[in-house]
Structure 1
Amino acid sequence: MTKAAVFTVLSALLLSQAQAATTVKIATISPLSGAVSNLGVQMKNGAQLAVNEMKPQFAKLGMTLSLVAYDDQADPATGTSAARRALADKSVLGMVGPLTSGVAIPATQAMAPSHLVAVAPVATSEKVTDRGLKNVNRVCARDDAQGAAGGNFVAGTLKAKSVYVINDKTPYGQGMAAEAEKAMKAKGVRVVQSEGVTAEDRDFTAVITKVQALKPDAIYFAGLYGQIGPFTQQLRAKGIQTPIVSGDGLDSPDFIKLAGQNVSNVYFTSLAPSLSVVPAAKKVADQYQKTFGAPIQGTGIMAYDSAKVVLTGILNAAKQGGNKVPTRAQVEKAVRGGTFKGLTGDIKFNASGDRTSAKIYVEAIKSGKRSTAATLNITRK
């Protein structure tokens, strides 16, 4: 090989290495297939909008920014495997997600030794942050706040004297139901039945038979829309109009498709706002529609904010290090210690990774239409 040829090969190799060194990625882990893929796609797309928006800022520092999306199918084992794949890609400096608490708990545990930071949009279980991991943060309120808000709604607004409680046997559903029960019992509401159903259950004949016999004033179901939708449809088909109350797992237009276009008397607490209560999100909503051909939902808004936190954390860490690509540990520190501007307000995390000031929205569904009934402010030290 001639000297010129050797020089050409070495130049190409060095250029390739330089390009690899300046590539920066963030990842998402969410269900892109399966029963709750609607929420997972919203999360991925919301994060993608933030990436698209901030690419020029990274380019000024000589960095090429992109997003890599992993499908966890809402399964903890699949999600943890995805986290390990993200860890193996050294250009991934941050994570948006995972979507569900059941995946977030083991996946972020696997990420912790490598300091890969995660900002979860809507993972609500207390266990997500109570473990004290430095790499785990979230922009939403927790189950202990959301479950209590739902329980207080049942007791205070619905004025129910008795309630039938169901959970989907996941960390999310069990934690939410426990907090709701605690709040309802404290207000004198009698829990006539409290039981778990597996997340795969879609035939609720046995449960509905017990509801018919016990005649509760309200039903509290802590789970996801892909399951609560069929439950509601089957319950209403039996002529039972008992109010159903749930958490943010119900927050999807697909719930109405599953429950019935004219479904009414359903309420849920949501950690993600609708556009009517977040006017600042209109520009992002328009861009979402233009980019993906569908309307943005609350999960998309929360994912956008989560991605902006991760990306701003990376930029802040880079600037503190002489405009060089930061390490994962540097990004982890910058995210936990920073203050960020989001569509949902200022974002700052406490020592556990919980947002110091978050909101919970109480949503009502009547004749297949959703409206915001109340907004609650939640603070944590």
Structure 2
Amino acid sequence: MKKTALSLSVLAALALGTAGAQTTIRIASLSPLSGGQSDLGTQIRNGTQLAVNEYKAQFKKLGFDLQLVPYDDQADPATGTAAARKIAADRQILAVVGTLNSGVAIPSSAALQASHVAMVSPANTANQVTDRGLPNMNRIVARDDAQGGAGANFISGTLKAKKVYVLNDKTAYGEGLSAEVEKALKAKSVNVVANEGTEEKSDFSSIIAKIKLQNPDAIYFGGIYNQVGVFIKQLREAGVTTPVIGGDGLDSSELATIAGAGATNIYFTTVAAPIEALPAAKTFAASYQKTFNDTAQGFGAFGYDAAKVVLQGVLNAIRSNGNKLPTRTQVESAIRKGNFTGLLSGAVSFNSVGDRRAATMYVMNITGGKYKLDSSINVKPAKQ
């Protein structure tokens, strides 16, 4: 009799525990957490974590335990695609914040498409990211056709350059951005003397020799800060003071560190606003510093915003599903069709292919190793 009473009490306790249990909902971040681009990738992961921390209580009230699962794509398409397959296999993951690199986003989003895992990118700019029309791929930043035009306008309008040497890093991002810049420069009758691809990371002497022969008014480099920083350092050491312009791949505090004394007369367009350009970001920046003992950068803020879009989308899908666990397809649809507010970068909604309907480009200047905002430009995608 005693054993029976004990067994019943244990069963009752287990039943109560089950009734009060929380259903786990996970979102993933996908960005480089190791390797040469980890500075930006970690910003994205950390911004996502702050958003998850803020939304945990809302999910808990609805009976869900919200968790973040960070994945390291190492800025490599194959590694990112392998991570995407792992994400697809984890049925608790309903959406992804990522990636940093367009070359990673394109195959990764395709790998997630069949499982209807939505992605919201805080960084990808290549036109092909959304031109494929995948229902799961969205971004909260401007496209290369907008960024390339902004860069070309700055080179021809502000710098008054008549002769430009263009470089790219042979990635989907660098090649796409440089092609847009070249096209826009030629439309303005600016002489593009080269559009050269290079995967060089340590010795740019042969390229610098060619640049000296051409003596351009400006150099455009479609690439990432860890490669471009080394190039600028060697360029300045070779006595070339020509302005260097790039895209948002240069948007890292590490660029000036790598370029050293050569970190001057540098400009870059960026889709991620500098923290000081976001009036609502003061609290976020303080929270970031306190949580991670590090300074928030633009991609940290946009990782945060992309995560808030994801989390609001998941909440919308839960509510539309009678406060029950939604399917991935329901989340995918809720994100694409939603109107999202309360973000650092302003309200977000997506067009039919997942582009943000209205975005802002920023032009930054580095002089003497110091970063400052030069100007900002409002842009819209060609398709609405």
Shift of 1:260: 1.0
1:217 aligns with: 217
8 Å contact 2:156–2:162 — kept in the other structure?
yes
Q: How does 1:230-379 map to 2 (within 5 A)?
A: 230-261=230-261, 263-341=263-341, 342-379=343-380
Give the Cα separation in 2 of the matches to 1:327 and 1:14: 27
- Which consecutive unaligned segments of at least 5 residues does structure 2 have? none
Q: How does 1:94-243 map to 2 (within 5 A)?
A: 94-198=95-199, 201-243=201-243
Query: What SS does the aligned partner of 1:249 have?
Result: helix
8 Å contact 1:357–1:379 — kept in the other structure?
yes
Q: How does 1:78-93 map to 2 (within 5 A)?
A: 78-93=79-94
1:48 aligns with: 49
1:34 aligns with: 35
Give the Cα separation in 1 of the matches to 2:207 and 2:168: 12
Shift of 1:304: 0.4
Shift of 1:191: 1.0
Q: Give the partner amino acid of 1:293.
A: N
Q: Give the partner amino acid of 2:61.
A: K
The question of 1:25 aligning with 2:39 is answered: no
Q: Give the partner amino acid of 1:93.
A: L
8 Å contact 1:48–1:67 — kept in the other structure?
yes
- Which consecutive unaligned segments of at least 5 residues does structure 1 have? none
Give the Cα separation in 2 of the matches to 1:86 and 1:368: 39
Query: What SS does the aligned partner of 1:159 have?
Result: coil
8 Å contact 2:247–2:269 — kept in the other structure?
yes
8 Å contact 1:262–1:366 — kept in the other structure?
no
Cα RMSD over matched residues? 1.8
Shift in alpha-carbon separation, 1:160–1:83, aligned structure 2, 3 A = same
Give the Cα separation in 1 of the matches to 2:291 and 2:192: 47
Shift of 1:312: 0.4
Query: What SS does the aligned partner of 2:30 have?
Result: strand
Shift in alpha-carbon separation, 1:363–1:12, aligned structure 2, 3 A = same
8 Å contact 2:102–2:129 — kept in the other structure?
yes
Shift of 1:275: 2.0
Give the Cα separation in 1 of the matches to 2:18 and 2:88: 21
Shift of 1:166: 0.3
Query: What SS does the aligned partner of 1:165 have?
Result: strand
Give the Cα separation in 1 of the matches to 2:28 and 2:41: 13
Query: What SS does the aligned partner of 1:124 have?
Result: coil
Give the Cα separation in 1 of the matches to 2:309 and 2:17: 31
Q: Give the partner amino acid of 1:36.
A: Q
Give the Cα separation in 1 of the matches to 2:242 and 2:19: 63
Give the Cα separation in 1 of the matches to 2:323 and 2:13: 24
Give the Cα separation in 2 of the matches to 1:247 and 1:163: 15
Query: What SS does the aligned partner of 2:177 have?
Result: helix
Give the Cα separation in 1 of the matches to 2:332 and 2:203: 44
Please list the CA deviations of residues 65-97 of structure 1 after superposition, one character each: whole Å capped at 9, or x if unmatched: 010000010000100111111111111011000
8 Å contact 2:201–2:230 — kept in the other structure?
no
Q: Give the partner amino acid of 2:169.
A: D
Query: What SS does the aligned partner of 1:51 have?
Result: helix
8 Å contact 2:268–2:365 — kept in the other structure?
yes
Give the Cα separation in 1 of the matches to 2:212 and 2:338: 52
8 Å contact 2:220–2:244 — kept in the other structure?
yes
TM-score (norm 2): 0.95
Give the Cα separation in 2 of the matches to 1:325 and 1:204: 54
8 Å contact 1:115–1:135 — kept in the other structure?
yes
8 Å contact 1:173–1:223 — kept in the other structure?
yes
Give the Cα separation in 2 of the matches to 1:17 and 1:220: 61
Shift in alpha-carbon separation, 1:80–1:52, aligned structure 2, 3 A = same
Shift of 1:201: 2.5
What is the count of residue pairs matched by the alignment?
A: 378
8 Å contact 2:236–2:262 — kept in the other structure?
no
